[in-house]
Structure 1
Amino acid sequence: MKAEIVRGDLLDQPVEVIVNAWNRNIIPWWLLLPQGVSGAIKKRGGLEPFRELGKFGAIPLGQAVFTSAGKLPYRGIIHVAGINIFWCASEKSIRGSVRNAIRLVDEHNFKSVALPIIGAGSGSFRQGRALEIILDELDRVRTDARVIVVEFQKKRKRS
Structure 2
Amino acid sequence: MLSLKVDAIVNAANKYLQHGGGIAGQMVRRGGEIIQEESNKLSPIKTGEAVITSAGTLPARFVIHAVGPKMGEGTEDEKLYNAIKNSLNIANERNLKAIAIPAISTGIFGYPAERCAKVMKKAVYDFLKTKTTLEKIIVCLYEDWKYKIFLKEFT
**Separation in structure 2 between the aligned mates of residue 74 and residue 87 of structure 1, nearest angstrom:** 32
Question: Structure 1 counterpart of 2:8, which letter?
Answer: V
Q: What is aligned with 1:82?
A: 68
Q: Tell me if the contact between 1:105 and 1:113 (Cα under 8 Å) persists in the aligned partners.
A: yes
Give the CA deviation at 1:119: 1.1
Q: Is 1:69 matched up with 2:55?
A: yes
**Which deviations, in whole Å up to 9, do the C-alpha atoms of 1:22-80 show, x marking residues without a partner?**
0111xx72xx6322x21220232122111111111220211110101012011110001
The residue number in structure 1 matching 2:4 is: 13
Q: Is 1:109–2:109 an aligned residue pair?
A: no
Partner of 2:86: 100
* Identity percentage of aligned residues: 28
TM-score of the aligned structures, taking structure 1 as reference length:
0.78
Unaligned runs of 5+ in 1: 1-9, 155-159
Which of 120, 138, 151 aligns to 2:124? It is 138
**Cα distance in 2 between the residues matched to 1:133 and 1:83:** 12
Q: Match of 2:95, SS?
A: coil
**1:60 aligned residue (17, 39, 46):** 46
Task: State the match for 2:20 in structure 1.
Answer: 33
More helix per residue: 1 or 2?
A: 2
Aligned in 2, Cα 1:93/1:78: closer, same or farther, shift over 3 Å?
Answer: same
Structure 2, unmatched stretches of 5+, are 145-155
TM-score, reference length from structure 2: 0.80
**2:108 paired with 1:122:** yes
Secondary structure, in 3 states, of the residue corresponding to 1:147? strand
Deviant stretches of 4+, over 2 Å: 86-89
How many residues are treated as equivalent by the alignment?
139
Q: Is the 8 A contact 1:89 1:123 kept in 2?
A: no
Q: Which amino acid aligns with 2:7?
A: E
